[in-house]
Protein backbone atom coordinates (compact mmCIF):
# COMPACT_ATOMS: atom_id res chain seq x y z
CA UNK A 1 0.00 0.00 0.00
CA UNK A 2 1.30 3.47 -0.86
CA UNK A 3 1.88 5.61 2.24
CA UNK A 4 -0.33 8.66 2.65
CA UNK A 5 1.34 12.06 3.17
CA UNK A 6 0.47 12.25 6.87
CA UNK A 7 1.85 8.71 7.37
CA UNK A 8 5.18 9.91 5.99
CA UNK A 9 5.19 12.83 8.45
CA UNK A 10 4.57 10.36 11.28
CA UNK A 11 7.77 8.54 10.28
CA UNK A 12 9.94 11.66 10.79
CA UNK A 13 8.07 13.05 13.81
CA UNK A 14 10.57 13.76 16.61
CA UNK A 15 13.26 11.74 14.79
CA UNK A 16 15.09 13.66 12.10
CA UNK A 17 15.27 17.19 10.73
CA UNK A 18 12.92 18.30 7.99
CA UNK A 19 13.20 21.17 5.54
CA UNK A 20 10.08 23.26 5.06
CA UNK A 21 9.72 25.48 2.02
CA UNK A 22 7.46 28.46 2.62
CA UNK A 23 5.75 31.01 0.46
CA UNK A 24 8.02 33.97 -0.19
CA UNK A 25 11.04 31.77 -0.86
CA UNK A 26 11.97 31.00 2.75
CA UNK A 27 13.25 27.60 3.85
CA UNK A 28 13.35 26.53 7.49
CA UNK A 29 15.02 23.44 8.91
CA UNK A 30 14.15 21.82 12.24
CA UNK A 31 12.83 18.82 14.12
CA UNK A 32 9.12 18.24 13.49
CA UNK A 33 7.40 18.07 16.89
CA UNK A 34 3.79 18.05 15.73
CA UNK A 35 1.30 18.89 13.00
CA UNK A 36 -2.41 18.87 12.26
CA UNK A 37 -4.61 18.22 9.21
CA UNK A 38 -4.24 21.87 8.14
CA UNK A 39 -0.43 21.38 7.97
CA UNK A 40 0.15 23.74 10.89
CA UNK A 41 3.58 22.64 12.12
CA UNK A 42 5.57 22.83 15.32
CA UNK A 43 9.35 22.76 14.83
CA UNK A 44 12.04 22.52 17.47
CA UNK A 45 15.63 23.68 16.94
CA UNK A 46 14.41 25.62 13.89
CA UNK A 47 16.96 27.52 11.84
CA UNK A 48 17.04 29.50 8.63
CA UNK A 49 19.95 30.46 6.41
CA UNK A 50 19.88 34.14 5.48
CA UNK A 51 22.65 35.65 3.35
CA UNK A 52 24.95 32.72 4.13
CA UNK A 53 24.44 33.01 7.89
CA UNK A 54 22.44 30.47 9.88
CA UNK A 55 19.93 32.11 12.21
CA UNK A 56 18.70 29.95 15.07
CA UNK A 57 14.97 30.43 15.64
CA UNK A 58 14.34 27.91 18.44
CA UNK A 59 10.81 26.52 18.72
CA UNK A 60 8.57 27.73 15.92
CA UNK A 61 4.95 27.38 14.87
CA UNK A 62 4.37 27.53 11.11
CA UNK A 63 0.89 28.20 9.80
CA UNK A 64 -0.11 25.54 7.28
CA UNK A 65 -1.28 27.86 4.51
CA UNK A 66 2.31 29.12 4.14
CA UNK A 67 3.79 25.65 3.57
CA UNK A 68 4.73 24.69 0.00
CA UNK A 69 6.46 21.40 0.80
CA UNK A 70 8.11 19.38 3.57
CA UNK A 71 10.99 16.99 3.00
CA UNK A 72 13.30 15.01 5.30
CA UNK A 73 16.67 16.69 5.62
CA UNK A 74 19.84 14.91 4.57
CA UNK A 75 22.52 15.33 7.20
pTM: 0.85
- Domain regions of the chain by residue span: 5-72
Residues 55 and 39: their CA atoms lie apart, in Å, by: 23
Per-residue pLDDT in tens (0 to 9) along the chain, 75 residues: 777 777 778 888 888 899 999 999 999 999 999 999 899 999 999 999 988 899 999 999 999 999 999 998 876
- CATH architecture of the domain with residue range 5-72: Roll (2.30)
Residues 15 and 8: their CA atoms lie apart, in Å, by: 12
- The SS3 assignment for 21 reads strand
Amino acid sequence: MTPRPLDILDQVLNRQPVIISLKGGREIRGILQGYDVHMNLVLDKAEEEVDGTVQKLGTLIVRGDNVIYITPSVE
